[in-house]
Amino acid sequence: MDRLRLRLELEDLFAAYAACLDDGELERWPEFFTDDCRYEIIPRENFERRLPLAVLRCESKGMLIDRVAALRRSSVYAPRALRHLVSGVRIVGIEGGVVCAHANYAVLQTLSDEHTTIFNAGRYLDRVVRSDGVLKLAERLCVYDSVLVPGSLVYPI
């Protein structure tokens, strides 16, 4: 049961993470991570060829906070709604207090006066730790299926 319960807790974490981004509450987003976290958005092809070319790479919570500040300053985005769908959360390993988990995601996008389309889809490859009783992301790699790099992909996924 412990493993099933842990999966339920991961799903709670991922649901809160998705709601944070969908609600546009970017300032709360770094709080889902540990201080020394790693966060990357990587096209699938680069990931599979082990090319170190990420579209976005942050190597600490401080860098996540900087990223949010930069996004708030630039604000070049057309008004749009994002909507995360997360499916197939799986624990693939537990070692020394670190939970390795995978999940599929799709982010839908709705621009003003347009129909809803798929903005980005791929896999989350995560390392999760418990800190003061709360699950935090020590690492989240967003490996997305497209090789197209939408200009706006620097927004967190």
Burial 52-73 (b: 16+ CB within 10 A, else e): eebbbebebbebbbebbeebee
- The site for its own copies, by CB under 8 A, has a size of 43
Q: Is 112 in the site for its own copies (CB under 8 A)?
A: yes
User: What region does 88 belong to: left with phi over 0, alpha with psi -120 to 50, or beta?
Assistant: left
Indicate the residue type of 141.
L
Which of residues 76 and 148 has its CB atom nearest to its own copies in the complex? 148
Q: How far is the CB of 66 from its own copies (least distance, A)?
A: 27
Asked whether the beta carbons of 126 and 137 are under 8 A apart, the reply is yes
Q: How far is the CB of 44 from its own copies (least distance, A)?
A: 6
Residue numbers 16-45 binding its own copies by CB under 8 A: 16, 18-19, 22, 44
Which of residues 116 and 131 has its CB atom nearest to its own copies in the complex? 116
Q: Is 142 in the site for its own copies (CB under 8 A)?
A: no
Question: What DSSP state is assigned to residue 32?
Answer: G
Please tell me the distance from the alpha carbon of residue 58 to that of residue 149, in angstroms, as a whole number.
18
Region binding its own copies by CB under 8 A among candidate stretches 26-34, 57-65, 88-96, 126-134: 88-96
Positions touching its own copies (CB under 8 A) are 1, 4-5, 7-9, 12, 14-16, 18-19, 22, 44, 81, 83-90, 102, 104, 106, 108, 110, 112-118, 120-123, 145-148
